[in-house]
Chains A and B, each alone.
Chain A
Amino acid sequence: MDSRLIFEKSHKGRFAYSLPKQDNYLEIPTKFKRTSSLNMPEVSELDVVRHYTNLSRKNYGVDQGFYPLGSCTMKYNPKINDFVASNPSFTNLHPLQPAESMQGALEVYYKTAKYLAEITGMDEVTLNPYAGAHGELVGLMIMKEYHYRRGDYKRTKVIIPDSAHGTNPASVNVAGMEVLEVASNPDGTVNIEDLKAVLSDEVAGIMLTNPNTLGIFEKDILAIKELARQYGALLYYDGANLNALLGITRPGDMGFDIVHLNLHKTFSTPHGGGGPGSGPVGVKKELAELLPNPRVVYEDGKYQIKYLPTAIGQISNFFGNFLVVLRAYTYILTLGKENLKYVGKLAVLNANYIKESLKDYYQVAVPGLCKHEVVFSGLKSKAVSTLDVAKRLLDYGYHPPTIYFPLIVHEALMVEPPETESKEILDGFIETMKTIAKEAIENPELLKTAPHNTVVRRLDEATAARKPILKYQDIINN
């Protein structure tokens, strides 16, 4: 397949479209006119269409096949979500038009926040953050401000287990606080003794993912909550793994004070490709006044936009990624309460089915039941590395699982099969994983040089990171 960049397909003088020269146009003042050439590829419309159509065919998404990327909940995005979100009555709205003229959209915003509050057991929710990490930052700003307004200025530290997602410590730093890392138990759960050792009156909060990144439920969560209360620290829930709990239990019931969600994970809106995502933040009522502006309230029989002086401020242009929220709203209504509760159960069942089916070939990192995802510690035979297994999966047409995360598992390979995948799909994947395990013993070279069937072969990731080529100009110059 032709892998040239569009610049390399450029042919002098070729163009796609031209406008007739008109005399009655207002002349652009010379000082605003560009003097250098635009340096655009010179291609025909057909060149452009073929170029990007072929590029899109090299892509891989949930609509093409199984995407077991751990910690990412790559579930199917129902087409009805897009159907609703492409309605011109929504797409043609402007966020600055009067509230009376967009009551329907405000109702969607208001009700989605209400539903998410009910699902997570929180009192109030903002939908303004644009993505998960943005939600984390907003949640931490609320945490910081809560202590600050009480005059408790010494609380500058946030406790995070070493099994956490990398965004957690990053967000703490961006929020201007300090990370206190605690070592976790071998199953990734919080070590209560270690936690006690680092707790103090300087701790603003504890940030946890539950189930944790090893797919294990934090069974001591109520004890952790008591400890947090005792030391005056808030409890923060990273919603990355909420899919496992959907309809079974709620972070609010476990004592979490602040929650962020990822609509692009749990609530079936598109995930990956740089977004747009959506990272709502839910809080208990003591923190509700701090939620960012603007807010949507229902007063005097109509939906209204409010800016409260008590808010931490404004963290988005307007109402976040509204069309993403609309997709999540559609998802919640499509499933309804009675079906949402099966999401967690089916996701957990799928993960355990894969774990049991592969445990003779791949080393299970934590024995016993897992939640929505299963972490293996590489091949049992150790014949090749986890990276080789992942690269070989590309040859079989699968998106590889998450590898080398969580960091506390050696040769980690993390599979998350969402509830939307059928038994036949899982069986196909399991058979492929078994085939790869056998190949690793019989013909390790085949795996070490994989992938073989893709557009490009194995890439030199180390050189790419050490000496990155970031723009076309660099290729010409090399």
Chain B
Amino acid sequence: MSKVMEGLKYTHSHEWVKVENDIALIGITDYAQDSLGDVVYVDAGEVGMIVEKDEMFGSIESVKAASDLFSPVSGEIIEINQEVIDNPELINEDCYANWIIKVRMSNQEELNELMDASEYQEHLE
């Protein structure tokens, strides 16, 4: 049973978003980290990169597979969690505490298109 956190927004491709004013913290869900298995590599673009909603901003690699990371919102990457890049196992240890990128959103209305916790829970089932 995968853990879903209340208060976050979710994508169909299993990313989560935590909103702090106009900043979005983005990570991957428990379902995603569990399906991937031991994460060994995270690539998350560069600070200053402009990301579009639903477009790829990086990739994540486990012993099983490599997957693309899709941005749930449009905006500019203002910070990358270097700790996660250096220690990808943090994603397995606590995927909700360890965000991957921070994005300054250019269109907050896009958040309405994302799922809330109960909708995501339903999506998983």
The docked-state distance in angstroms from the alpha carbon of A91 to that of B105 is: 64
User: Quick one: CB contact mask for A332-373 with B, threshold 8 Å, 1 for yes?
Assistant: 000000000000000000000000000000000000000000
The docked-state distance in angstroms from the alpha carbon of A166 to that of B64 is: 12
CB atoms of A465 and B65 under 8 A apart: no
For the A-B complex, the count of residue pairs with Cβ-Cβ distances under 8 Å equals 21
Nearest-neighbor residue (CB-CB) of B61 within chain A: A465
Q: Does B88 contact A (CB under 8 A)?
A: yes
User: Quick one: CB contact mask for A442-465 with B, threshold 8 Å, 1 for yes?
Assistant: 000000000000000000011001
The docked-state distance in angstroms from the alpha carbon of A461 to that of B41 is: 13
User: Quick one: CB contact mask for A422-438 with B, threshold 8 Å, 1 for yes?
Assistant: 00000000000000000
Q: Which of B65, B66, B88 contacts A466 (CB 8 A)?
A: B88
User: Quick one: CB contact mask for B36-58 with A, threshold 8 Å, 1 for yes?
Assistant: 01101100000000000000000
B residues within 8 Å of A by Cβ? 37-38, 40-41, 61, 63-66, 88-89
- B1 CB to nearest A CB, Å: 14
Nearest-neighbor residue (CB-CB) of A412 within chain B: B64
Interface set, chain A 383-434, CB cutoff 8 A to B: 404-405, 407
A residues within 8 Å of B by Cβ? 166, 404-405, 407, 461-462, 465-466
Interface of B is mostly: loop
CB atoms of A404 and B65 under 8 A apart: yes
Residues of A within 8 A of B89 (CB): 462, 466
The docked-state distance in angstroms from the alpha carbon of A465 to that of B41 is: 8
14 A–B contacts, CB within 8 A, in A order: A166-B66, A405-B65, A461-B38, A462-B37, A462-B38, A462-B40, A462-B63, A462-B89, A465-B40, A465-B41, A465-B61, A465-B63, A466-B40, A466-B89
The docked-state distance in angstroms from the alpha carbon of A255 to that of B88 is: 45
The docked-state distance in angstroms from the alpha carbon of A166 to that of B65 is: 10
Residues of B within 8 A of A404 (CB): 64-65
Residues of A within 8 A of B38 (CB): 461-462, 465
Residues of A within 8 A of B66 (CB): 166
Residues of B within 8 A of A166 (CB): 66
Residues of A within 8 A of B41 (CB): 465-466
Nearest-neighbor residue (CB-CB) of B35 within chain A: A410
The docked-state distance in angstroms from the alpha carbon of A461 to that of B89 is: 13
Residues of A within 8 A of B64 (CB): 404
Nearest-neighbor residue (CB-CB) of A386 within chain B: B64
The docked-state distance in angstroms from the alpha carbon of A405 to that of B63 is: 12
Residues of A within 8 A of B37 (CB): 462
- List 7 additional A-B contacts (Cβ < 8 Å) besides A404-B64, A407-B65, A465-B61: A461-B63, A462-B38, A462-B89, A465-B38, A465-B40, A466-B88, A466-B89
The docked-state distance in angstroms from the alpha carbon of A378 to that of B89 is: 25
The docked-state distance in angstroms from the alpha carbon of A461 to that of B39 is: 11
Nearest-neighbor residue (CB-CB) of A468 within chain B: B40
Nearest-neighbor residue (CB-CB) of B66 within chain A: A166
Which of A166, A404, A405 has the most CB atoms of chain B within a 10 A radius of its CB?
Answer: A404
Residues of B within 8 A of A461 (CB): 38, 63
The docked-state distance in angstroms from the alpha carbon of A394 to that of B40 is: 24
Residues of B within 8 A of A405 (CB): 65
Nearest-neighbor residue (CB-CB) of A406 within chain B: B65
Residues of B within 8 A of A462 (CB): 37-38, 40, 63, 89
The docked-state distance in angstroms from the alpha carbon of A462 to that of B91 is: 13
The docked-state distance in angstroms from the alpha carbon of A471 to that of B92 is: 28
The docked-state distance in angstroms from the alpha carbon of A344 to that of B41 is: 40
- A414 CB to nearest B CB, Å: 13
Residues of B within 8 A of A465 (CB): 38, 40-41, 61, 63
Nearest-neighbor residue (CB-CB) of A385 within chain B: B37
The docked-state distance in angstroms from the alpha carbon of A462 to that of B37 is: 9
Residues of B within 8 A of A466 (CB): 40-41, 88-89
Which are the 5 A-B pairs with shortest beta-carbon distances? A462-B38, A465-B40, A404-B64, A461-B63, A466-B40
Residues of A within 8 A of B65 (CB): 404-405, 407
The docked-state distance in angstroms from the alpha carbon of A461 to that of B64 is: 10
The docked-state distance in angstroms from the alpha carbon of A147 to that of B65 is: 33
Residues of A within 8 A of B61 (CB): 465
- B43 CB to nearest A CB, Å: 14
Which of A404, A405, A461, A462 has the most CB atoms of chain B within a 10 A radius of its CB?
Answer: A462
